[in-house]
Amino acid sequence: MNTGFSVRHKAVRKGSARSPGRLPAVVIGAGPYGLATAAWLSAAGTPRRVFGEPMECWYANMPAGMYLKSVPAASSISAPESGYRLEDFRTARGRGPVGDRYPIPVEEMVDYGRWFQERRLPELEREKVRSVGHVDGLFAVTLDSGEEFLAEKVVMATGQVPFAHEPPELTGALPGELVSHTSRHRDLSLFSGQRVAVLGAGQSALESAALLHEAGALPTVIARAESVAFGTPPDTDRPCDRPRAVRIAKPGSPLGPGWSLLACSRGGGAVRRLPQGVRLRLLHDVLGPSGGWWLRQRVDDRVPVLCGCTVRSVGAEDGTVRLEVEVEGTGAGARTKALRADHLLLATGYRVDIDRLGLLAPELRRETRTFHGAPRLSAGFESSVPGLYFTGLAAAPTFGPVLRFVAGTGFAARRLARSVAAGTRTRP
């Protein structure tokens, strides 16, 4: 296919047997999954370029004051060598060891990711990729600077922000200044003094509501669930300190205690072999909507929470949001309540849909086989387009919920790097 693409890029490396301007691999994204993938590709001896701002999503799209749900032992970015774990970062910064009862501030996670990048991937190029096209079996990559080059393989590690789910029936009925997704906000203090309706029942909704309250706003959580749930505080700082009987009944895992969580955290390869419907249910039901254990005291008796509610309609009225909410049952037994807010904040999660990845050329998106918008992936994370790989949240519908957390970087990066290095072209 002739796209008119011209290559103005330097050769890959001196001594490379490949043609000038043709790079073996490109990693797009510098969050935990992009950093881990690049590190493992390096260890496999695969020449690659890595693009992105380190931990950009974590810094720009997560609210200041947020804490991670995952425990410190499950929050390390994978590297093929020792010395790059979260505990190594804390030691290097003169901080003491921490256990499961230590909630990690997002600011600490950002600092850790940048430290990982500086030590392990100093060659990272802090430049955005403008577009990726398909040219005669290769990938035509264009940077924001205008630089163009060809790559044999591309790894998409673009994080979760492109997949922010904003129900069109809500966003389409309101002007942009009255509705937004939680991923758009770094600083929730801008809502100080305002009434904010927070839609959702999970960590994002409950933590956003707590932060809004602490910033002087007046949040109200609206949830379809009959009640909101919070995690249980860990009994000990280390899983091995739990009584043996408890460890047998609920073994520890990177995702939390319990046999189902252990299976999901260690069995990504097995999850991929399950029927498509089962995988999607696992992704939705395992670690379903809930708040961290440390959130309960910041929400209970501080933030109004309306449970069992379904938003039937929204509209703008006198510069505010008017919501019609159905409560207490369905059909004839339901009643409708009108609510007013200055802003509607959507904590409605993320849904993988590669059509949302605008940097992929339309023809490339069409060539990629999907299910419910998610790419179908081989055991090595390769899509139906030879040489095009997806990792992180985009791979979670294939490999399960562990890919929603930093704990999944080891499983993903090792497999993906082996596949790229071996030139695997196994079809999904």
Q: What is the pLDDT of residues 398-423, one digit of tens each?
A: 999 999 999 999 999 999 999 999 87
**Does residue 8 carry a pLDDT above 70?**
no
Looking at residue 237, its pLDDT comes to 84
Looking at residue 333, its pLDDT comes to 59
**Does residue 126 carry a pLDDT above 80?**
yes
- Domain pair 22-163+350-422 / 168-230+291-346, same fold: yes
Query: For 114-118, 136-140, 221-225, 249-253, which range has the lowest pLDDT when averaged over its residues?
Result: 249-253
Looking at residue 61, its pLDDT comes to 93
Name 384's Cβ contacts closer than 8 Å, sequence gap at least 6.
367, 368, 369, 375, 376, 427, 428
Per-residue tokens: 24: 């073996």
Q: Which residue has the tokens 């497999």?
A: 415
Name 261's Cβ contacts closer than 8 Å, sequence gap at least 6.
253, 255, 286, 287
Fill in the DSSP letter of residue 224. S
pTM higher than the cut 0.85? yes
Looking at residue 332, its pLDDT comes to 57
**Does residue 1 carry a pLDDT above 50?**
no
Average of per-residue pLDDT across 320-339: 80
CA angle 18, 20, 22 (to 5 degrees): 65
What span, in angstroms and rounded, lies between the C-alpha atoms of 348 and 365? 25
Looking at residue 329, its pLDDT comes to 58
**Does residue 17 carry a pLDDT above 70?**
no
Backbone angles phi, psi at 155, to 5 degrees: -110, 120
Indicate the average pLDDT of the chain. Answer: 89
What span, in angstroms and rounded, lies between the C-alpha atoms of 212 and 206? 10
Backbone angles phi, psi at 330, to 5 degrees: -130, 170
Backbone angles phi, psi at 265, to 5 degrees: -75, -25
Q: For the domain bounded by 168-230+291-346, which CATH number is listed? A: 3.50.50.60
**Does residue 62 carry a pLDDT above 50?**
yes
What residue ranges do the domains of the chain occupy? 22-163+350-422, 168-230+291-346
**Does residue 7 carry a pLDDT above 50?**
no
Q: Alpha helix locations (H) across 44-105? A: 56-60, 86-92
Architecture of domain 22-163+350-422: 3-Layer(bba) Sandwich (3.50)
What span, in angstroms and rounded, lies between the C-alpha atoms of 384 and 372? 15
Query: For 77-81, 237-241, 408-412, which range has the lowest pLDDT when averaged over its residues?
Result: 237-241
**Does residue 4 carry a pLDDT above 50?**
no
Query: For 114-128, 215-229, 275-289, 358-372, which range has the lowest pLDDT when averaged over its residues?
Result: 275-289
